[in-house]
Structure 1
Amino acid sequence: MKIIDAHLHFCQEPHFDHIAELAGHENTSEHLKEQYDRYNIIRGVVMGNRNLNEDGPAYPDYLSYCVGLDSTFFRLEDIEQQACLVERHLQRENCVGIKLYPGYNHFYIYDPVIDPLYQLAMQYHKPVAVHTGLTATSKALLKYSHPLVMDEAAVRYPEVQFVMCHTGNPWLADAIAVMEKNENVAADLSGLLEGKIADMPAFFEQKKGYIEHFKMWLEYLDQYDRLLYGTDWPLANIANYIEFVAHLIPEKHHDKVFFDNANRIYQLGL
């Protein structure tokens, strides 16, 4: 089975080195490529969180990326200038979308002030991925990352293809309601595990309630052509994550979720 990792981070920093170690990995391009080759992962899509002014980013050729506006440099008051920098990225072949971090940056994604970013997404026919659900730091605000904020954005910008990162976890019912109502919203299944799990059967038994709850809402939606596999590397062990998503998704939909949907939505041409 071919796989696309539709959500990862690629940062050579000590913090990410430690996270990778906890997941049983090394935070290096060489190790990531070795893991991708081992599990037939054809391409990864990096959720960018680097400075927009960089000439790069210099990602390996097996990675595409979404240009990210994270909290280290995103400023609503400078949105026009930042949109110009975003456009330079969107003109690159390996830039396949825009990534927003509303919980960390404290803004609502339907705020008209960020309309220039959506205009670019429509102009270049690129999706907009949005961090939804729980956040990694206590300074982030959950009211901005709740999946319901995507409802108004999807209605305001019906021509934009949105990707709800992390499926709004743990607000799964709300996330599924937004997806059912808005055909221009997809979701990736990243960020649901962390670290390395030694005994997956025991994990499935221990987390049976949560997993069945997740399965129930996915089955209720019954739109497996709008779900994307992603690991949130280096957060989780890759082998664990493949097994987890394969357990979560009915086998007849594996090709869609593991490969086809990301290939189509991010227009990877694979």
Structure 2
Amino acid sequence: MDAAKLDAIDIHVHAEVSCHDPEDPIFAEFADAATKYFKADRRRPTIPETIAHYRAANIGFVMFTVDMEAGTGIKRIRNEEIAEAAAANNDIMIAFASIDPHKGKRGAIEARDLIEKHDVKGFKFHPPLQNFDPADPIAWPLYEVIDHYGLPAIFHTGHSGMGTGMPGGGGIRLKYGQPILVDEVAVRFPNIRIILAHPGWPWTDESLSMALHKPNVFIDLSGWSPKYFPPQIVKYANSQLGHKFLFGSDFPLIPPDRWIAAYDEAGFKPELREKILKGNAAKLLGL
């Protein structure tokens, strides 16, 4: 991927449709609720359709699924499926992997193989959906692999659109989305470039504090239209943390063009546009 040839880099794109397996019936229930919450199209794009969408927009992107088999029972999309698509489209696409931390050492072995054999460039964690505290030692075998290779890891933080409106929130515990829980990971594994996904509401200030305090902590701004950002996001971007924010859409629930249009009206300093939309991600990803 040549960042100089791209208009932006979207650090947060989901694969929700397998090219090989039918939609999981449990996932269908969550997808129905998320569609209502985000006012999105219920039909989710395939991986090839997503690639075509981003290629037409000249936007590079990082794609991943979420392995939440222990927390929800939803059958995951195979990490190899995403990695293969990225290898065939590496001018526009980067693959991150997702492994349920409950898989322990077996998961750590899988992580190593994905890095060495499939050129995976990072990892995605969603503690509320995966039903784990990010600081729980259950995840340390995975973190040790990621730290060893010095790769980035995205952690969902804040409210979860997945499960919103479902009975009992779909069994999703919001407490695991509290950003400060990831602080322990940042301390123990300083070679992991940690990306706190989303503005982190209702704990936004925790994310900002961590990004200010820890050199290895960044924030992606996915999952929300910028017009709805808590005001301190724009305040800190325009002052101390402009180098720590990354463009992320949460596609397919939020299209990148809609996010960028809202960003341009949200009050960020003009000189930050290139950094947030592309430059900060290019540096973090080593492009």
Does residue 239 (structure 1) correspond to residue 257 (structure 2)? The answer is yes
Q: CA deviation at 1:54?
A: 5.9
Q: CA deviation at 1:31?
A: 4.3
Which residue of the partner structure matches residue 209 of structure 2? 177
Q: Distance in 1 between matches of 2:223 and 2:121?
A: 20
Matches within 5 A, 1:143-182: 143-182=175-214
Q: Distance in 1 between matches of 2:115 and 2:192?
A: 15
Q: CA deviation at 1:44?
A: 0.9
Equivalent residue for 2:137, pick from 96, 112, 134: 112
Which residue of the partner structure matches residue 68 of structure 1? 98
Q: CA deviation at 1:92?
A: 4.3
What per-residue deviation string (whole Å, max 9, x for no partner) do you get for residues 148-204 of structure 1?
1122221222222111011313321121011111111011111013xxxxxxxxx95
Does residue 265 (structure 1) correspond to residue 265 (structure 2)? The answer is no
SS of structure 2 residue aligned to 1:164: strand
User: Which structure 2 segments of 5+ residues have no match?
Assistant: 1-5, 68-75, 164-168
Q: Distance in 1 between matches of 2:154 and 2:273?
A: 22
Aligned residues: 248
Do the aligned partners of 1:167 and 1:188 also contact (CA within 8 Å) in 2?
yes
Do the aligned partners of 1:66 and 1:96 also contact (CA within 8 Å) in 2?
yes
What per-residue deviation string (whole Å, max 9, x for no partner) do you get for residues 91-144 of structure 1?
246411111111122222122232211211122221111111111111211211
Does residue 59 (structure 1) correspond to residue 85 (structure 2)? The answer is yes
Equivalent residue for 2:157, pick from 116, 132, 149: 132
SS of structure 1 residue aligned to 2:234: helix
User: Residue 23 and residue 263 in structure 1: after superposition, are their counterparts in 2 closer, same or farther (change >3 A)?
Assistant: farther
Q: What is the alpha-carbon root mean square deviation over aligned residues?
A: 2.9
Q: CA deviation at 1:218?
A: 3.1
Do the aligned partners of 1:4 and 1:44 also contact (CA within 8 Å) in 2?
yes
Q: Distance in 2 between matches of 1:54 and 1:211?
A: 33
Do the aligned partners of 1:163 and 1:188 also contact (CA within 8 Å) in 2?
yes
Equivalent residue for 2:63, pick from 42, 46, 49: 46
User: Which structure 1 segments of 5+ residues have no match?
Assistant: 194-202
Which residue of the partner structure matches residue 95 of structure 1? 120
Do the aligned partners of 1:48 and 1:65 also contact (CA within 8 Å) in 2?
no
Counterpart residue identity of residue 59, structure 1: A
Q: Distance in 1 between matches of 2:259 and 2:189?
A: 32
Percent identity for Structure 1 against Structure 2: 22
Q: Distance in 2 between matches of 1:40 and 1:264?
A: 18
Q: Distance in 2 between matches of 1:251 and 1:178?
A: 25
TM-score, normalising length from structure 1? 0.80
